[in-house]
Structure 1
Amino acid sequence: MGLHQRPPAHAVSGPMSEIVSLHLGMPPSTFPWPLEGSNATMINEDSLRAFAAARGRDDRVHPRRTPYNFAGIPSLVGASLGLELELAPTLPEAALGPLPRRYDRVITLLVDGLGWTSFEAAGAALPFFRRFVERGVCSQLSAQFPSTTAAHVTTLHTGEPVERSGVFEWVYYEPQLERLFLPLVYASVEGSETAPLAAAPEPNPLFPARTFYTLLAEHGRSSACLQRDRYVDSPFSRSVCRGARRVGYADVPEVARRLAEATRSSKDPSPDYACLYLDDLDGAGHRHGPGSPEHTEVLGHIASALESELLPALARSKARTLVLVTADHGQLRVDPERTIYLDQLLPQCREWMRRDGRGRPLRPGGSPRDLFLYVEEHRVDEALGALQAALDGRAEVLRTSELVARGVFGPRPSPRLLERLGEIAVLPAHRGDAGEMIGWWGEGEGQQHKRGHHGGLASAEMAIPLLAMAFGRD
């Protein structure tokens, strides 16, 4: 079927040191690892130090104060395929440590919601992740801000960081439509309902004109993008995955088998680059909370399918292959019963809002962990003062221009991003791995039920892994 329809371990502090210690006490692995020089046990200490330096006393992370940022992954993929793509930002050389720098093919596995905390726990318990600790390089990255799926899948598929892509959240005001827009489901907000939009011709003006896959194709490299059947052919996927073969799948065991078969097939060889998006873990975290038994069980199922199907095929392949495992964000535990709804707390806030193209007040964009308010310019000072007083101790309320000035979106935010951000940002507080949620009730459509969430700057939301491992025979 294919895709057509050991240097010594470094001492580190914290829970990850327990993984290294556990490894050092393990019996030798019996798994076949044919690539000479790839048997390095390495936790990238430089990445840990860089992330710690980007983390403030309030446990919020400035994503661009560490060179280890998710936005550098496309550049790493291109360089690993031997291409000079001039993408920015880039990742430090230490992200691959002692592993080779050039490969015949690269596979990126994006596990939605796999924060660094989940990796720490899984690394000691699940063989799939333990392989990367034993035989690869494990780096700690910062997610982009906002720590959302929309921002990160757009970056991975287009090569554009959030500051340039402008796709930053689940929902935001789109000036071209004059209404709130949900990019991933390609729909607009119509009152308390969402309405699908007719797909635009490609390239779609609502998304970046260039994709990472068209860039690879210009350099003679083939690509495949593997996603769930239910959205592999969505307008968003068609737009941001242009240039790649789009492959749908029903579940993780199936897609792991298909990738494995492609590595063995001479008639249907695997592409030079394959990007697999896995959404199960994030859903379990939202429903049950990160670290819950249900969340842990789903991670185990994902790891088991990849361990049993994909890794053995790669280990027997002659093609030199780099496998990268990463995530778009982590999650915080949240209590939906504690949610603060702004339009109930301050009913007058509806009067502050800008209007959409039909004259209706705009509800906020973003999520309950990073809310963006579209406020009439002459009401901003009034709104800012009232919100700061009402949310004292529960959230930071500031002008979005201040967030931009801090550089959390990146050094040079594009006009496309700036016009979508709104005037006021609300960043709910957190303590440890638990966070506040602040939402918008509306007519009840905004009621919160989730037990895990993300979007803000808390370290549990922002800390993500980048795991690298090399396969193949010379």
Structure 2
Amino acid sequence: MSAGERGRLGDVLLGAVGSLGLDLPPEPAARMSSARARLGLPAATKACVVLVDGLGGHNLDQRSGSAPFLTGADRVGSVRTTFPSTTATNVTYLGTGWEGGRTRMLGYSVRAAPRAVVNLVSWNGPAVPEQWQAETTVFEHLEQAGRTAVSVGPWRFADSGLTRAAWRGGEYAAAESLRERVDTAVAELRDPDVDVVYLYWGELDSHGHRHGWQSPGWEELLAVTDAELDRLARLLPPGTLLLVTADHGMVDVAAHERIDLAGREDLTRDVDLVAGEPRAVHLYCAPGSANAVAGRYRAALGEQAQVLTRAEVIDSGMIGPTTPAAAPVVGDVVVAARGNQAVMDSRSQSAASLALVGMHGGVTDAETLVPLVVVQG
């Protein structure tokens, strides 16, 4: 682990529940106890877990002056996300404790049928969330034990595919602005029947994608986020454990650092389907061609990316232990950015997605190390 690194993102919710000392079945209880020990969490009576989408540790360090609460002394460590460093994968990693090799949540989009792609954020495609991601969530473990967990987020996510994949088993409390979400979270925590509250905030990520995390507007949003989370910490009921983390960081990718597959016969030959995202690409190839495709991508990208076959991805452990159901979801070739470049595809991507500035998905520390802020109420 790097300096200040305390564990993995999948430990955070598990460890938070483990700190409550609830009477749960042996298997999830053991996982929760181990996660709590890895993170060094104190005992608590309730837990509140906040996920700030897109707030990487590098991003926070570089804008620490705008986040005095989040960067306060003795509060901040870091945890490592799983690959790819993207929302669908890591929100589910947080919500279940399992990496994509078990959950099949292996990117922004993946192949769901020979010629069909499913988007694991919007769920446009041939997949039912509860069937696609069949692992028991942490909230389902709580529900089965007669305990109550609540997700706080925008109304449009109340029954979304990602909520059903990662957070089923809990109740949902809709609130729009961050201030409203903080107020709602506090009200839920004051309910004696509620054990755990999860609060999601996605505006930093949205702004970073459109304008870049180095834009003035991103820093202004960070300051607002920091102030509201400070207020949340001050309003916590006594004995409540607050954990603030993120699903990934973000890098800004300049126009000259983008490779467009359109017109690149060397990079499209034998590739039947392209999925994933620009810094974590799944290439589904014609039978028997994966090694040749991988070789051409290695020649084109050099040190800017790890280019791996499916077997290499699975054997490396970068997506965790992989089940037979998840293995075919992995691209025949996977391109994982480790430099500044991104692989775009103007043949299929919308103009809006091609215009995005901030990106993530790759294997750099800027994308995979995220903060863990621990506050005892």
Q: TM-score, normalised by structure 1?
A: 0.72
What does residue 75 of structure 1 align with? 14
Seen in structure 2, the aligned counterparts of structure 1 residues 256 and 223 have a Cα distance that, compared at 3 Å, is: same
1:81-127 CA-partner distances (Å, limit 9, x unpaired): 1146233894473633xx6x321110000001111123324545434
In the TM superposition, what are the counterparts of 1:281-360 in structure 2 within 5 Å? 281-308=204-231, 310-314=232-236, 317-318=237-238, 320-346=239-265, 349=268, 351-353=269-271
Give secondary structure in 1 for the equivalent of 2:328: helix
What does residue 436 of structure 1 align with? 341
What does residue 449 of structure 1 align with? 355
Seen in structure 2, the aligned counterparts of structure 1 residues 400 and 238 have a Cα distance that, compared at 3 Å, is: closer
- Work out whether 1:387 is the aligned partner of 2:301: no
Contact 2:210 2:356 in 1 (8 A): yes
Contact 2:103 2:135 in 1 (8 A): no
Give secondary structure in 2 for the equivalent of 1:187: coil
Distance in 2 between residues matched to 1:87 and 1:367, nearest whole Å? 31
Seen in structure 2, the aligned counterparts of structure 1 residues 125 and 442 have a Cα distance that, compared at 3 Å, is: closer
Contact 2:11 2:94 in 1 (8 A): no
Tell me the amino acid that sits aligned with residue 70 of structure 1. L
Tell me the amino acid that sits aligned with residue 162 of structure 1. G
Contact 1:143 1:329 in 2 (8 A): yes
**Structure 1, gaps ≥5 residues long:** 1-46, 52-66, 189-196, 354-360
What does residue 368 of structure 2 align with? 462
Distance in 1 between residues matched to 2:296 and 2:359, nearest whole Å? 26
Structure 1 window deviating more from structure 2 (383-392 vs 253-262): it is 383-392
What does residue 193 of structure 1 align with? none
In the TM superposition, what are the counterparts of 1:133-282 in structure 2 within 5 Å? 133-134=72-73, 137-175=75-113, 179-188=116-125, 200=128, 204-264=130-190, 268-269=191-192, 271-282=194-205
Give secondary structure in 1 for the equivalent of 2:150: strand
Contact 1:158 1:208 in 2 (8 A): no
**Structure 2, gaps ≥5 residues long:** none
Tell me the amino acid that sits aligned with residue 108 of structure 1. V
Distance in 2 between residues matched to 1:426 and 1:142, nearest whole Å? 20
Seen in structure 2, the aligned counterparts of structure 1 residues 286 and 348 have a Cα distance that, compared at 3 Å, is: closer
Distance in 1 between residues matched to 2:45 and 2:33, nearest whole Å? 23
In the TM superposition, what are the counterparts of 1:16-165 in structure 2 within 5 Å? 48-49=2-3, 51=5, 68-83=7-22, 85-87=29-31, 90-91=34-35, 93=37, 95-96=39-40, 101-130=42-71, 133-134=72-73, 137-165=75-103
Distance in 1 between residues matched to 2:279 and 2:69, nearest whole Å? 31
Distance in 2 between residues matched to 1:172 and 1:343, nearest whole Å? 20
Seen in structure 2, the aligned counterparts of structure 1 residues 346 and 288 have a Cα distance that, compared at 3 Å, is: same
Distance apart, 1:467 and its partner CA: 1.1
- Work out whether 1:423 is the aligned partner of 2:316: no
1:433-465 CA-partner distances (Å, limit 9, x unpaired): xx1111222155376212111101011111111
Contact 1:72 1:89 in 2 (8 A): no
Tell me the amino acid that sits aligned with residue 147 of structure 1. S
Distance in 1 between residues matched to 2:30 and 2:115, nearest whole Å? 34
Seen in structure 2, the aligned counterparts of structure 1 residues 444 and 153 have a Cα distance that, compared at 3 Å, is: closer
Seen in structure 2, the aligned counterparts of structure 1 residues 163 and 128 have a Cα distance that, compared at 3 Å, is: same
What does residue 8 of structure 1 align with? none
Distance in 1 between residues matched to 2:226 and 2:361, nearest whole Å? 25
| Percent identical residues | 26
What does residue 14 of structure 1 align with? none
- Work out whether 1:365 is the aligned partner of 2:302: no
Distance in 1 between residues matched to 2:54 and 2:349, nearest whole Å? 27
Distance apart, 1:348 and its partner CA: 7.2
Contact 1:259 1:270 in 2 (8 A): no
Distance in 2 between residues matched to 1:129 and 1:398, nearest whole Å? 36
Tell me the amino acid that sits aligned with residue 327 of structure 1. A
Distance apart, 1:250 and its partner CA: 1.3
Distance in 2 between residues matched to 1:74 and 1:418, nearest whole Å? 26
Contact 1:71 1:90 in 2 (8 A): no
Distance in 2 between residues matched to 1:227 and 1:285, nearest whole Å? 19
Give secondary structure in 2 for the equivalent of 1:374: strand
Seen in structure 2, the aligned counterparts of structure 1 residues 445 and 89 have a Cα distance that, compared at 3 Å, is: farther
Contact 1:333 1:453 in 2 (8 A): yes
Tell me the amino acid that sits aligned with residue 453 of structure 1. M
Contact 2:75 2:374 in 1 (8 A): yes
Contact 1:352 1:383 in 2 (8 A): yes
Tell me the amino acid that sits aligned with residue 117 of structure 1. H
Number of matched pairs: 371
Seen in structure 2, the aligned counterparts of structure 1 residues 89 and 374 have a Cα distance that, compared at 3 Å, is: farther
Contact 2:338 2:362 in 1 (8 A): no
Distance apart, 1:405 and its partner CA: 1.7
Distance in 1 between residues matched to 2:146 and 2:66, nearest whole Å? 40
Distance in 2 between residues matched to 1:263 and 1:242, nearest whole Å? 19
Tell me the amino acid that sits aligned with residue 187 of structure 1. N
Give secondary structure in 2 for the equivalent of 1:450: coil
RMSD: 2.6
Contact 1:122 1:129 in 2 (8 A): no
Give secondary structure in 2 for the equivalent of 1:396: strand
Seen in structure 2, the aligned counterparts of structure 1 residues 95 and 394 have a Cα distance that, compared at 3 Å, is: closer
Distance in 1 between residues matched to 2:219 and 2:193, nearest whole Å? 31
Distance apart, 1:150 and its partner CA: 0.6
